[in-house]
Amino acid sequence: MATGTLVTYDLIDGAIAVLTFNRPEKMNALSTALLAEFEAHLQTIERDPAVRVVILTGAGGKAFVAGADITEYSQQGFNAFVSYQLNSRRLFDWLEAFPKPTIAAINGYALGGGFEIALCCDVLVVSTSARLGLPEGTLGLSPGGGGTQRLTRAVGRYAAADVLLSGRRLSGQRAYELGLAAEVVEPDALLDAALDKARYMLRIAPLAAREMKRLIRTGPDAALPTGLALEQEVLFRLYNSRDAQEGIAAFVEKRDPRFVGE
């Protein structure tokens, strides 16, 4: 386990990284320092071929991330505020494009930037106590880390408007009904449910996982013929990989494949 002041890093089964936002006294609110630690951990994980899946969650049980630290906002001038937002967007964009599967295990509040982080992840697992929302309008602001765009793409224009223009919070069950969450579980089962999904993800060859992530991310913004052409181009490239040849051989030989990420 690698522990930081604001984000902790646990390695499970030698292949699953669990990053925990660790400001429970502030509902794990985002700050410049927390985001720097988060980015440093992601850099370490990206470089480590042994780590195959990343789980994000929050400490304390009450929140995943309850948004930005508004006290820090209140002390920033305009230029510092702009710099913070641009850096957050860069980091969130990188998280969305991260080459390894990411799971958000949402316990309690995921508001503002916390919800935006979750929307950058590949799979969301939520507890029955989860509350997700983008309440920036109640501060006279709007989301700046992708919330308006990613939520709209995820659930459609009208459901997104219902959240954004009212500031209301989605329950874990409602997030599941909208297709945002893959599973909703009781709070004490949340991490186990996320780990169960991560262990299934370990069955997928690393190169295939990375390419399928890219197809999922880019496909909906392309015309269908373009997306289908990209899909086949990916398939043809993967067929020539060592992992594909190993996977096919393992299936024929009725054994578990030994993927190496090449």
187 phi/psi in degrees, rounded to 5:
-55, -40
Percent of the chain with pLDDT over 90: 87
pLDDT in tens, 28-49: 999 999 999 999 999 999 999 9
Query: Is it the case that residue 230 has pLDDT exceeding 70?
Result: yes
In this structure, of 52-61, 86-95, 96-105, 252-261, the range with the lowest mean pLDDT score is 252-261
The pLDDT value given to residue 49: 94
Q: Point out which residues pair with 207 in neighbouring strands.
A: none
CATH architecture type of domain 2-201: Alpha-Beta Complex (3.90)
Tell me the pTM.
Answer: 0.93
pLDDT in tens, 163-212: 999 999 999 999 999 999 999 999 999 999 999 999 999 999 999 999 99
Spatial CA neighbour of 112 closest among 167, 59, 57, 72? 167
**All structural domains of the chain with their residue ranges:** 2-201, 206-253
Segment (H or E) for 9: strand 7-12
Query: Is it the case that residue 1 has pLDDT exceeding 80?
Result: no
Rounded Cα–Cα distance for residues 230 and 226 (Å): 6
Query: Is it the case that residue 239 has pLDDT exceeding 70?
Result: yes
The pLDDT value given to residue 202: 96
Mean pLDDT, the chain, whole residue set: 94
Spatial CA neighbour of 172 closest among 159, 162, 187? 187
pLDDT in tens, 9-31: 999 999 999 999 999 999 999 99
pLDDT in tens, 115-160: 999 999 999 999 999 999 999 999 999 999 999 999 999 999 999 9
Segment (H or E) for 185: strand 183-185
Query: Is it the case that residue 77 has pLDDT exceeding 90?
Result: no
Catalytic residues, by residue number, are: 116, 136
